[in-house]
Every structure is written in structure tokens, then in C-alpha cells.
């Protein structure tokens, strides 16, 4: 095991000397940063910053996703011990990942939060660092996409969800069910080069997004989803993954605000993510974990594993680039 983190035993989140490698922590103790990565806002050496967004003021059913970042970090500790499965390597031998902490905003002034989120992500992106966001309700993806579109232009969106999130939007309201209509209208994303995976709610207007609903996935299989996603998104333009945990069936992710029956299993969701390594990833988020409705950390573990495996895609690509250099 690589020990570039400074041969630290215990509380790597505070004591690690490097963003590369890792030391030792007992899974049942210590500071719970995401995957035991070092807490820092000094991103000069970072490839990716993990950022919590504890915001759930845009929920329309059960609140509680503001506690998601804390729960996902806590559930991630067991993933930080061993080589990544099924990749077979330690992603932190290659990929420099920092835990940036959480976006801070005053919940008494909720309408200010989107601008605060955009500003924080803008500042991170200006350092050349990618982001992995931990929500928070799904509305947080909209202010994140504003920062990404400023840097990269319109983004290709890979959207995992039970809901299309393209219901009517007035451009002002805080609503976790309409922000991708707004993103399309404002030119933040390229709908015809973007996909929505796992949907099982109806909307008359798809805003041009390419949809693969849950029944289609159950009928055609995971590889068909991977193939169609790669064909639509391509491998050249900048792409962003947003994974609403309610894409998974409530049997696999009960701890969420708006569960819908008939969804993907955690195995299906993970296999799809792992199959998308050819995409030009610039960022991602995992949202809508509401731990008050969870049982035995089922949902938080699934969310942490999705984030972990997305980081492994970046590490895999960086390893290949280093070998060919």
C-alpha cells in the first residue's frame, strides 16, 4: 500500500502530509472526511476536490438531504482501506483528491445559496481542479452547472434519476424538480448530447434530453445503457455526471426524499458508472441522500461507492496517460 500520505496512522483527514497515497485509520474511528482524504482548501496539487453542499431548501416532499454530505463521508470509510474493486488498483497512488469541506450559506437566506454555491465552485474550477459534489437536494446541481458552463461552455450531462427534473420552471424558484429545464433553457447543457438514466416519472416535455427510463433498462440491460450513453455523449466534449440516489429502487436506497418504485439496483447503477470511463469527465455529484429515512447506511454506502467509483475512472485515465508518457 502506498504511504505517500506521510505514513500517518490515525486521522489522516487532518494529519496527512500529501494528497497522494494513504495511511491507516480504523474504520470505526477517526475524522470522517470522504475516503479519508485530507481536509484542505489548498488545491495547488489536487486533481479533484470533494465538496459537500448541505442544502435541501428546494425539496418538494421529504426534507433531510442537508445531512447527506455528513452521512456519505461517514459511509465512505470502509472504501478507503483496500484496493478498489473491481478496478484492482489504489486510485490514490495516482489521483490527488482533497476534501474541501462544505459550502457555507445562511439557511435563513436560502435564496442567496445558489449564488454562494456557484461562487465556491467557480473558485475551485479556477485552480484547474475537478469537483465531486455531495448533496444536498438535487437543485444544487444547477448552481454547480453555472460555474462549469462559465469555464467550459455548455456541458454534456449524464443524469441518473427517477425524475426528469424538467417540469415547468420560472427561472426564479428553488425547486429540485425543474432545474434541468432551466439549465437547458439557459444553455448550460447540450440536451441532445446529454442522457437521463433510470427515469420512472412522466413529463410531456423532455427538453431534448435523451432518455433511458427504468423499464427500458430492465428490458435491454446495462450494456445497452452504456453503449447508448457513449454514443450520445461521445468522448471529446466536457461531461458532468449527476447521480440522484433515487435513481436506485427504494429497496437499495430507502434514505432519500422522493423514492419511486421500479428503479435500478445498486449493482446496475454501479456497473453503468464503471462502464463510462471513455467520457471526458470534468465533474460529478451524488445527491438526495436523506439519512433520516435510511436503514443501516444502505443509501449512504451506495452513494459513497458511486462517488468512489467515479474517482476510479479518473484515476484509471490518469494511470494510462502516465504509462504512455
CB atoms closer than 10 angstroms to residue 192: 12
Report the mean per-residue pLDDT for the chain: 95
Residues 11 and 77: their CA atoms lie apart, in Å, by: 11
Over 60: is that where the pLDDT of 3 sits?
Answer: no
For residue 126, is it within any domain? yes
Say if CB 225 and CB 272 are below 8 A apart. yes
- Mean pLDDT lowest among 1-5, 67-71, 96-100: 1-5
SS (H, E, C) 111-169: HHHHHHHHHHHHHHHHCCCEEEEEECCHHHHHHHHHHHHHHHCCEEEEEECCCCCCCCC
- Percent of residues, the chain, with pLDDT higher than 90: 88
**What integer is the mean pLDDT of 207-225?**
98
Residues 26 and 40: their CA atoms lie apart, in Å, by: 21
Residue-wise pLDDT for 240-274, tens only, equals 999 999 999 999 999 999 999 999 999 999 999 99
For residue 267, is it within any domain? yes
Best CA proximity match to 266, nearest among 285, 246, 283, 282: 246
Residue-wise pLDDT for 26-77, tens only, equals 889 989 999 999 999 999 999 999 999 999 999 999 999 999 999 999 999 9
Q: Which three cell numbers stand for residue 304?
A: 459513497
pLDDT in the model for residue 105: 95
- Measured in whole angstroms, the distance separating CA 218 from the mean position of its chain's CA atoms is 23
Matching residue, cell 479556477: 126
Residues 285 and 83: their CA atoms lie apart, in Å, by: 22
Q: What share of the chain is helix, strand, coil (3-state, %, to 5)?
A: 40, 15, 45
Band of pLDDT at residue 2, cut at 50, 70 and 90: very low
Over 90: is that where the pLDDT of 177 sits?
Answer: no
pLDDT in the model for residue 9: 85
For residue 117, is it within any domain? yes
For residue 40, is it within any domain? yes
Q: Provide the domain count of the chain.
A: 1
For residue 308, is it within any domain? yes
**What integer is the mean pLDDT of 80-95?**
94
Between 128 and 177, residue with greater pLDDT = 128
Per DSSP, the three-state class of 199 is strand
**What integer is the mean pLDDT of 204-215?**
95
For residue 42, is it within any domain? yes
Band of pLDDT at residue 325, cut at 50, 70 and 90: confident
The domain in which residue 265 lies consists of: 12-324
Q: Is the link from the previous residue into 44 a cis peptide, with omega within 30 of 0? A: no
**What integer is the mean pLDDT of 101-129?**
96
Per DSSP, the three-state class of 276 is coil
State the CATH number of the domain containing residue 177: 3.40.800.10
pLDDT in the model for residue 1: 40
Between 205 and 155, residue with greater pLDDT = 155
Over 70: is that where the pLDDT of 204 sits?
Answer: yes
Amino acid at each position: 500500500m502506498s504511504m505517500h500520505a506521510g505514513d500517518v496512522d490515525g486521522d489522516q483527514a487532518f494529519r496527512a502530509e500529501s494528497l497522494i497515497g494513504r495511511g491507516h485509520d480504523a474504520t470505526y474511528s477517526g475524522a470522517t472526511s470522504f475516503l479519508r482524504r485530507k481536509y484542505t482548501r489548498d488545491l495547488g496539487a489536487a486533481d479533484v476536490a470533494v465538496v459537500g453542499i448541505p442544502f435541501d431548501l428546494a425539496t418538494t416532499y421529504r426534507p433531510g438531504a442537508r445531512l447527506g454530505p455528513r452521512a456519505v463521508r461517514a459511509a465512505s470509510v470502509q472504501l478507503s482501506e483496500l484496493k478498489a474493486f473491481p478496478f484492482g488498483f489504489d486510485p490514490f497512488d495516482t489521483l490527488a483528491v482533497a476534501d474541501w469541506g462544505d459550502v457555507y450559506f445562511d439557511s435563513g437566506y436560502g435564496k442567496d445559496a445558489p449564488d454562494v454555491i456557484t461562487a465556491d465552485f467557480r473558485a475551485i474550477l479556477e485552480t484547474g481542479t475537478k469537483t465531486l459534489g455531495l448533496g444536498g437536494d438535487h437543485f444544487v446541481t444547477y448552481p454547480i452547472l453555472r460555474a462549469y458552463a462559465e469555464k467550459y461552455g455548455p456541458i454534456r450531462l449524464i443524469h441518473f434519476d427517477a425524475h426528469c427534473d424538467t417540469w415547468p420552471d420560472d427561472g426564479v424558484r428553488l425547486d429540485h424538480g425543474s432545474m434541468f429545464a432551466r439549465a437547458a433553457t439557459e444553455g448550460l447543457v447540450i440536451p441532445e448530447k446529454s442522457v437521463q438514466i433510470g427515469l420512472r416519472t412522466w413529463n410531456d416535455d423532455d427538453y431534448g434530453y435523451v432518455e433511458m427510463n427504468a423499464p427500458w433498462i430492465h428490458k435491454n440491460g446495462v450494456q445497452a445503457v452504456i453503449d447508448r450513453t457513449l454514443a450520445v455523449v461521445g468522448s471529446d466534449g466536457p461531461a458532468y455526471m449527476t447521480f440522484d440516489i433515487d435513481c436506485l429502487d427504494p429497496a437499495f436506497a430507502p434514505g432519500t426524499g422522493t423514492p419511486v418504485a421500479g428503479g435500478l439496483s445498486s449493482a446496475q447503477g454501479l456497473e453503468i458508472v464503471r462502464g463510462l470511463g471513455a467520457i471526458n469527465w470534468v465533474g460529478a455529484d451524488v445527491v438526495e441522500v436523506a439519512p433520516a429515512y435510511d436503514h443501516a447506511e444502505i443509501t449512504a454506502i451506495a452513494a459513497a461507492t458511486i462517488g468512489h467509483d467515479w474517482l476510479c475512472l479518473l484515476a484509471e485515465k490518469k494511470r494510462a496517460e502516465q504509462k504512455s508518457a
